[in-house]
Amino acid sequence: MVLGLFTTGQWCWGFAPGGATMPIIKYPGFDTTWECKNQKYSYIENWANPADAVWNIKVVNPCAKNDTTPDRVVFVAHHQPWNTTQAQWQTLLNMATATIKMKYPSAKEIDILTMGRAPGNMLCKNNNDMYTIISPAEDMAFQAVADASGGLIKVGPQYFVPDCTMSYEFANDTDYTPAAANFLAKTIATYYMSH
């Protein structure tokens, strides 16, 4: 089960506009075993709240078996403002993963991922949206939460758009072009083929 926001849906199931034409759910082996629940502006605070409407989002590509009892949850967390401290991130991640455990007690693993990153995790000259890069505090918080989980929580892959000029749908925004969403879907699928 992949939980996250708009850009997550772009690579997971081709959420438009800018969605992948070859999202992760079209890859062999993923087409019957990966499902997505994504919505624009579904920040970490929403997923942390068990009563939030995000939990009622329709599942895209429900798994052929055990579609309501996933064995793994991939959670893409996003929070604003960008300069959130490591301690604040850890609190939010702990709250969200506790809710995920409550909603999906079948999960044997919860992978926590940041949003996609600009090349080199550096701002592009043509895109000053700070959310295209991930702060050191965020990365450290993700690792700390995973380290304290006894193995249940793992940090997922860092994934990067392929270039600055053709990857973002709009100037100064995080939304991907179809080409970038395809690239990210392939990157993430390749990672999970061996994990």
| Nearest partner of 161 among 153, 173, 150, judged by Cα | 173
- Mean per-residue pLDDT, 58-64: 94
Helix or strand run (H / E) with residue 113: strand 109-113
Q: How far is CA 101 from the centre of its chain?
A: 17
Helix or strand run (H / E) with residue 137: helix 136-147
Tokens 């019957």 found at = 32
- Mean per-residue pLDDT, 133-149: 98
Least confident of 15-19, 76-80, 89-93, 148-152: 15-19
What is the model's pLDDT at position 16?
A: 85
The two tokens of residue 102 are: 């409550």
Helix or strand run (H / E) with residue 72: strand 72-76
| Nearest partner of 35 among 6, 73, 7, 76, judged by Cα | 73
Identify whether the C-beta of residue 4 lies closer than 8 Å to the C-beta of residue 168. no
The two tokens of residue 103 are: 């909603």
What is the model's pLDDT at position 20?
A: 97
Which domains occur in the chain, in start order? 2-193 (3.40.50)
Q: pLDDT tens digits for 77-89?
A: 999 999 999 999 9
Q: How far is CA 176 from the centre of its chain?
A: 14
Identify whether the C-beta of residue 127 lies closer than 8 Å to the C-beta of residue 118. yes
What is the model's pLDDT at position 168?
A: 95
Q: pLDDT tens digits for 26-49?
A: 999 999 999 999 999 999 999 999
pLDDT above 90 for 18 = no
Average pLDDT, rounded, for the chain: 96
The number of CA neighbours under 13 Å toward the Cβ of 37 is 21
The number of CA neighbours under 13 Å toward the Cβ of 178 is 6
Identify whether the C-beta of residue 60 lies closer than 8 Å to the C-beta of residue 30. no
- Give percent of the chain above pLDDT 70: 100
pTM: 0.97
Radius of gyration, alpha carbons of the chain: 16
